[in-house]
Chain A
């Protein structure tokens, strides 16, 4: 089995600050692997281990996204590819999916692609479905359990808003992972030592056979505002009886209860 995992490097959420000129303050950002992608990596590793398979991680991003790829390698992935090109700076989810689909076709012999259900920075949730469309493969979104993965088929549970669904699909397929699909492992210290010096191949747009014209629309962010600060809490004083009474009353008033 050859699994590809799509990994996006995103800012850790509480590390993002917006500058007065509406830019993201890059100095304070702590870059991490998108939370949902960590589950995707772990799931791919577990199934690859069972079948003696291969895991390749792909990231589309700036050069420093190699940090996330190296972490995935230290977790146990076999290969990594960075897709980085100045022309991709403002690419949206659709364009990104098109480029990654081309990269996956270039790799060839891929049986399954795992990605997170969405990224914690842009939160569009479009990447996985769009990738499946560009590859022409079935998609299994919001997967919270993989029951079975064979050379030709997969059985998963999908967590939908008000239903749980068990679905079977043929391969190749695109799977998007939700939180708690598994427990992502820590990088291995031995592998950290190996991968820290390992060069990671970088592909530009032309390496995957695309040009700027193929990307479709680009996205420009016209305004950025930080979320309003949370109003400060209210302390309820008195003995336990009084406190509980006052608390319940407030919860009823605010229609929580």
Chain B
């Protein structure tokens, strides 16, 4: 059997290989045996908030996955940004809900605090998050504002040493399980994107309420919901960055979140391919295994092509992060390609499985349902497409940021 993760030595080293084995071992032993049951449970309309995920997240925290690429002095494991991709690939190879945890907790929230937070904020929020003692979420989307971020209605009004936060965020992953929320709201609506500010809000603050969303097509084993902020008093010390920097913070957070989504989607393509290869050898029609039929071979070949191109695009984005080079273009390209192709791979995997693929006795229909969300969240397919052309037509370019994501520095990460 081909090891689909081999021969990436130009990006990955022995450390990554050991990390991969550890994460795979965890996901296969501690999640794979239960995932069908959890996924089924999540389909019900009174599914609750996926409480079964609480011990799983705790375990991932103890094992260091949640702070994999955070420096040791902030409670992390000190791997580089490619390590984050490896973890995401292996988690989503088993189930998307596992990778979603890395996306919002690590990619969108923790790395934003790492990039933009002051030392006090890093000690107070990043350290417990990197260790997995506290769970973090990211709140940008609102009932009436997704792609059009500027359409948001949440507001934060400064009153002395507090901001008073009001608004509703929805489709928030881990909404009911998180302790800390990174929230973007208007402090000056007239200034549009430049009038947005980011805050770290704790669940324990008065006026924070969350409710799970039921009836989801995918990520049923995980928790997604709404967060309502009603006159929540947020200390000024919990403002992340300056007033007016909220949009930039939200977008740079997405540079990291999308990277985790793309890497995860790569893992899902691999899972679809592995399931399809196995079935292609087992199932026989017309006296031969179905893998002997050319049209089945074509589906397998396309999965392989898209697996490897997705993986390379992801690793390139990760390599750029390691170098401290801005990578919105490369990351969105990876995210667009990997997520769209993960849906196609899952779709073909169902085709290869015939009627059995249409049943949840096999995992491939779960892959399809799970892959669909990633074509929408963290920037829809259309948004990623537009971005590519915008960069090429020079309608979009990078402007220097007050705080860049630090380049990976092994010595500093080991301190």
Contacts and interface: CB of A to CB of B under 8 A. Distances in A.
B59 to A, nearest CB: 9
A190 B18 contact: no
A57 to B, nearest CB: 15
B63 A186 contact: yes
Contact of B19 (A28, A189, A197): A189
A107 B13 CA distance: 31
A74 interface: yes
Task: Specify which of B22, B25, B414 lies most central, judged by the most chain A CB atoms within 10 Å of its CB.
Answer: B22
B303 interface: no
A193 B77 contact: yes
Interface string A173-196: 000000000000011111011011
B114 to A, nearest CB: 17
A187 B64 CA distance: 10
A2 interface: no
Contacts, number: 45
Interface string B1-44: 10100000000011100110110011000000000000000000
A188 B14 CA distance: 15
B79 interface: yes
Given A15-B1, A193-B78, A196-B13, A186 B25 contact: yes
Task: Specify which of A15, A187, A188, A192 lies most central, judged by the most chain B CB atoms within 10 Å of its CB.
Answer: A192
A189 B81 CA distance: 14
A187 B63 CA distance: 8
B147 interface: no
A196 B18 contact: yes
Given A186-B63, A187-B18, A193 B79 contact: yes
Interface residues of B, number: 20
A189 B79 contact: yes
B22 A187 contact: yes
Given A71-B18, A193-B78, A188 B64 contact: yes
A190 B13 contact: no
Interface string A192-212: 110111000000000000000
Closest 9 CB pairs of A and B: A189-B64, A189-B77, A196-B15, A196-B14, A192-B18, A28-B1, A187-B22, A186-B22, A186-B63
Interface of B: 1, 3, 13-15, 18-19, 21-22, 25-26, 63-65, 68, 72, 77-79, 414
Interface of A: 15, 28, 30, 70-71, 74, 186-190, 192-193, 195-197
Given A15-B1, A189-B65, A189-B77, 14 more contacts: A28-B1, A70-B14, A70-B18, A71-B18, A186-B26, A189-B63, A189-B64, A190-B64, A190-B77, A192-B18, A193-B15, A193-B79, A193-B414, A197-B15
